[in-house]
Structure 1
Amino acid sequence: MASSEGKRKLVVAIDDSVYAEQAFDYYVENLRRDNDYVCFLHCPELYELSGASPAVVDRLLNEARDKVKSLEEKYKEKLKEANLPGKFRTGQGKPGDVVCQLAHEENAAFIVIGSRGLGKIRRALLGSVSDRVVHHSPIPVLVCRHPEQDKHQKKA
């Protein structure tokens, strides 16, 4: 990919959800600049594998590798369509912490992240990556919510 030197760098946290894709699309349609350099970050799911058979471990690792490769191809194509330079990185650990750390490493100007739109109870139980990033990032964070999330939450 093209060099990031002299460009405004941003980190876009992604997973295989529609929310991540909508967040990137929002950035492209509303905030994109010609001198931007995008660093996509994906944190694969961590599995508790103690006691699992070698066959199960191997299957889960292969599935995770395939999923990451598919995401990388998808988002590299989205960069190409948007005529933007960038790269794809993966990280391990708690996603919110990894996003903040990578943004620091990349000297990013801001972070773009989607929101799953969890309700208060589910967010308290499951945690929220976007909440974690907003509260721990030293740089601006754009949390993108899809309008349908608000309609869904009002019905729930």
Structure 2
Amino acid sequence: MADMAAKERKILVAVDEGEESMHALSWCLKNVISKNSKDTLALLYVKPPRAVYTAIDGTGGYLFSSDILATMDKYSNDVAECVVDKAKKMCKDLHDVKVETRIDHGDPRDVICEMTQNLGADMLVMGSHGYGPIKRAFLGSVSNHCVQNVQCPVLIVKKPKSTATNN
């Protein structure tokens, strides 16, 4: 076991705007990463593909000007930078751990799997949105897809249900 702890690991953590991914990162920092280890922590944010709007036959589609598209892209980039900055701040107390950040775009299921492979990650850490079976059937589950398709261990951290009540 001591031999395994000495190995330098590359741990990929998928982050997004949700509390679930930040909880997973926090849990990983407390339970997986040692402050003085030589691990590399790769934080990955995936921007979803932009929806395509056209007005080919005039049946109610939308045609956005380049100004609006540029504004939408800028907003998407700002959100990505904000999420990654928040995640990096959570890692500030790590001493010898190298923290890398990556922002990519595409279907999160595919991008996370590809990045896990490309980085040679030893572990993938992700939050769970906790969708029920019906919502998961319609939306798909990024974490389920990754568990099925990556070669390394996948740690899915579920955020505990809040015990606070609104009075």
Asked if TM exceeds 0.5, the reply is yes
Identity %: 27
1:19 counterpart SS class: helix
Q: What residue number does 1:96 align with?
A: 109
Deviations 1:17-66 (A, max 9, x none): 11001001111111113121100111112221333222321221110111
Structure having the higher helix fraction is 1
Look up the match of 1:3: none
2:58 matches 1:57: no
8 Å Cα contact 2:29/2:91 also seen in 1: no
The one of 69, 80, 87 aligned to 2:92: 80
Match of 1:25 in 2: 26
The one-letter amino acid paired with 2:11 is L
Counterpart residue identity of residue 29, structure 2? V
Task: State the one-letter code of the partner of 1:75.
Answer: A
How far apart, in 2, do the equivalents of 1:74 and 1:29 lie?
Answer: 17
Residue correspondence of structure 1 range 1-156 to structure 2 within 5 A: 7-33=8-34, 34-51=37-54, 52-83=64-95, 84-148=97-161
Structure 1: 5+ residue stretches without partners: 1-5, 152-156
Contact 1:79 1:85 in 2 (8 A): no
Distance apart, 1:76 and its partner CA? 1.8
Task: Give the partner amino acid of 2:130.
Answer: G
Cα deviation 1:59-85 (Å, max 9, x = unaligned): 211101111111222122222133332
* Local SS of the residue matching 2:74: helix
Q: Secondary structure at the match of 2:105?
A: coil
TM-score, length of structure 2 as denominator length: 0.80
Alpha-carbon distance between aligned partners in 1 of 2:19 and 2:47, rounded to the nearest angstrom? 16
- Number of residues of Structure 1 aligned to a counterpart in Structure 2: 145
Q: Structure 2 counterpart of 1:25, which letter?
A: S
CA separation in 2, counterparts of 1:90 and 1:125?
Answer: 26
Q: Distance in 2 between matches of 1:31 and 1:48?
A: 37
SS at match of 1:80: coil
**RMSD in angstroms over aligned alpha carbons?**
1.7
CA distance in structure 2 between the aligned counterparts of 1:91 and 1:75, rounded to whole angstroms: 16
Unaligned runs of 5+ in 2: 1-6, 55-63
Q: Distance in 2 between matches of 1:113 and 1:72?
A: 14
